[in-house]
């Protein structure tokens, strides 16, 4: 058993929310950041389109707030929304101070884009690799700060709570002391003890068969928090990005919403523009509407994909504005996006639900905070407005940092964290069977809990996931730990949470569309809390 590693702040996750928090608190104490792969492999790195903020006089906070409210279908928390929108310009300045280079016009002004659901051009971007540019700058700053240490290839297994610790803790209740972490290189479990633990683990879209997310998006933070008894909210609201590249058998690749904002049109196999049949805003309707429109068109015509058409736009400008997407499509499926229609399909993209937090990131457990996609702040409501995710990570990461800087941790005296029990019977034949559960989970979720759902489909999914969940838990209890097993266990928990939440909402709202309950109901103007 390796020695305990201690710090003032333990940040689990190295994306925009985790690293911005770490940079804010690093002058006030020791920060340990753990990343399950290399620190640059995050959901943030894959964000193409940009980051939303009011930056010009022609735009107004009220307009950004209203656009978010419309997309959120009545479930946005007004306090979280106003905070995020009004604080966004300050956080953009933080990014610029950290060295993020946003694309600018010849006159030095920001080259602002417009995306679905926005009434104004307010999306700052770094060409079509905004997330990668933000990740680069944050990571560079974090790596050179003397109080920040980054542990790559370290995977959090479970939170350490009062149920684990030994010592004089009669007065302690519902408290987080850190996390048990698997060092993949040495295959040993290390307790990371900390005054404050921050879950910034990103999303969980790998629970679905088709996802725009990298393989790391297995919902680790939400699953750990759920197992520790922390409140989880609104897991039924999963955003499916309308346009991922249709390339069967290959990893999904996001075709940014910015292409539609630039003027791209969606057409079917007969080259008919179809989105006007589903919404007057056509391609610039909120993502839930566009994804359902594409899904309906594919089913009606029995086609495997639809197409994003950029052929009517200036070819040179398309290539200049979207160089990464142009290069990827040319190399992977040999099409020129300025001359050929791009085959696209919806894919799981973003979770609007997660670990319930206050405006300062505080969860229902003492000394445990959550920020970024892993958190449910209430900003997004039932559907996230495009490009509001990166700014959410910054705003609430900053709020959490200011909170813990002001707050003094309670002194619990002698706290003894027991060693991780590494005993386990490894049955390779049984593991071969257990690992097959991953594809089964993903297929069940895609087939029955996807863009369009029904009570019957959800009940069928619940029965099947319940059996798989128990199989994985039984195997986990008697087996030596591995990264693959930890992620599989977490995905099973995420599937359970999504289905359970969806079954409690007998209406259609935002990203949750039920064929047997097609209308909204005021009865469900509330969060679904587990």
Active site amino acids: 287
With CA atoms as reference, report the closest residue to 324 among 216, 263, 245, 213: 245
**Half-sphere exposure (Cβ direction) of 401: Cα atoms closer than 13 Å:** 23
Separation CA 128–CA 48 (nearest Å): 5
Cβ neighbours for 25, distance < 8 A, ≥ 6 positions apart:
8, 9, 31, 401, 404, 405
With CA atoms as reference, report the closest residue to 246 among 318, 294, 316, 314: 294
Is the separation of the CB atoms in 390 and 44 below 8 Å?
yes
Instruction: Kindly state the tokens that stand for 487.
Output: 């992620």
Largest CA distance in the chain: 72
Please write down the long-range contacts of 250-255, taking CB distance under 8 Å and 24 or more positions apart: 250/332, 252/210, 252/211, 252/212, 252/347, 253/212, 253/328, 253/332, 254/46, 254/48, 254/212, 254/347, 254/349, 255/308, 255/325, 255/342, 255/344
With CA atoms as reference, report the closest residue to 367 among 201, 232, 133, 199: 199
Nearest-5° Cα angle at 159, 403 to 438: 120
In this structure, how many other beta carbons lie within 10 angstroms of the beta carbon of residue 473?
A: 12
Strand partners, 189: 182
Separation CA 219–CA 350 (nearest Å): 11
Separation CA 163–CA 142 (nearest Å): 33
Chain position carrying tokens 């599989």: 488
Is the separation of the CB atoms in 210 and 345 below 8 Å?
yes
Separation CA 226–CA 219 (nearest Å): 11
In this structure, how many other beta carbons lie within 10 angstroms of the beta carbon of residue 500?
A: 17
Q: In what order do the strands lie in the sheet with 232-233?
A: 232-233, 354-356, 375-376
Separation CA 271–CA 293 (nearest Å): 15
Query: Helix (H, G, I), strand (E, B), or coil: what is residue 229?
Result: coil
Query: Helix (H, G, I), strand (E, B), or coil: what is residue 258?
Result: helix
Separation CA 450–CA 149 (nearest Å): 39
Cβ neighbours for 421, distance < 8 A, ≥ 6 positions apart:
none
Phi, psi dihedrals of residue 9, rounded to the nearest 5°: -135, 130
């Amino acid at each position: 058993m390796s020695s305990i590693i201690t710090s003032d702040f333990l940040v689990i996750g190295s994306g925009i929310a985790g690293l911005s928090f770490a940079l804010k608190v690093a002058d006030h104490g020791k920060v340990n950041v753990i990343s399950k792969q290399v620190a640059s492999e995050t959901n943030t790195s894959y964000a193409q389109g940009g980051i939303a903020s009011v930056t010009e006089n022609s735009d107004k906070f009220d307009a950004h707030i209203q656009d978010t409210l419309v997309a959120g279908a009545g479930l946005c928390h007004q306090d979280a929304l106003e905070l995020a929108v009004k604080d966004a310009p300050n956080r953009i300045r933080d990014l610029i101070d950290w060295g993020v280079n946003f694309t600018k016009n010849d006159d030095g002004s920001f080259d602002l884009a417009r995306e679905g659901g926005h009434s104004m051009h307010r999306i700052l971007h770094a060409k079509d690799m905004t997330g990668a540019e933000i990740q680069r700058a944050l990571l560079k700053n974090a790596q050179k700060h003397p109080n920040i240490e980054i542990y790559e290839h370290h995977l959090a297994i479970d939170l350490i709570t009062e149920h684990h610790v030994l010592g004089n803790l009669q007065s302690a209740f519902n408290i987080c002391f850190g996390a048990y972490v698997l060092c993949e290189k040495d295959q040993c479990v290390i307790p990371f003890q900390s005054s404050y633990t921050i879950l910034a683990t990103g999303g969980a879209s790998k629970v679905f068969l088709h996802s725009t997310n990298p393989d790391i998006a297995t919902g680790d933070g939400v699953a750990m928090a759920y197992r520790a008894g922390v409140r989880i909210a609104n897991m039924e609201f999963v955003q499916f990005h309308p346009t991922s590249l249709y390339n069967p058998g290959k990893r999904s690749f996001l075709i940014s919403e910015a292409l539609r904002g630039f003027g791209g049109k969606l057409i079917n196999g007969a080259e008919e523009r179809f989105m006007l049949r589903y919404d007057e805003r056509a391609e610039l309707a909120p993502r839930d509407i566009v994804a359902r429109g594409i899904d309906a068109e594919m089913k009606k015509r029995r086609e495997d994909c639809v197409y994003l058409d950029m052929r009517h736009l200036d070819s040179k400008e398309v290539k200049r504005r979207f160089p990464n997407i142009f290069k990827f499509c040319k190399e992977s499926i040999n099409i020129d996006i300025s001359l050929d229609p791009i085959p696209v399909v919806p894919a799981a993209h973003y979770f609007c639900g997660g670990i319930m937090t206050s405006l300062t990131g505080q969860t229902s457990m003492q000394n445990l905070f959550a920020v970024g996609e892993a958190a449910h702040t209430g900003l997004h409501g039932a559907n996230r407005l495009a490009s509001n995710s990166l700014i959410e990570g910054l705003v609430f990461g900053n709020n959490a940092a200011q909170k813990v800087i002001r707050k003094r941790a309670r002194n619990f005296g002698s706290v003894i964290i027991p060693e991780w029990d590494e005993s386990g019977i490894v049955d390779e034949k049984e593991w071969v069977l257990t690992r097959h559960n991953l594809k089964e989970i993903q297929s069940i979720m895609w087939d029955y809990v996807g863009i369009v759902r029904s009570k019957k489909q959800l009940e069928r999914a619940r029965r099947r996931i319940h059996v798989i969940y128990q199989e994985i838990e039984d195997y986990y209890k008697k087996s030596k730990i591995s990264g693959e097993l930890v992620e599989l266990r977490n995905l099973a928990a995420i599937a359970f949470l999504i289905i359970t939440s969806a079954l409690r909402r007998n209406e259609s709202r935002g990203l949750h569309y039920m064929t047997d309950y097609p209308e909204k109901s005021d009865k469900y103007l509330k969060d679904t809390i587990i």
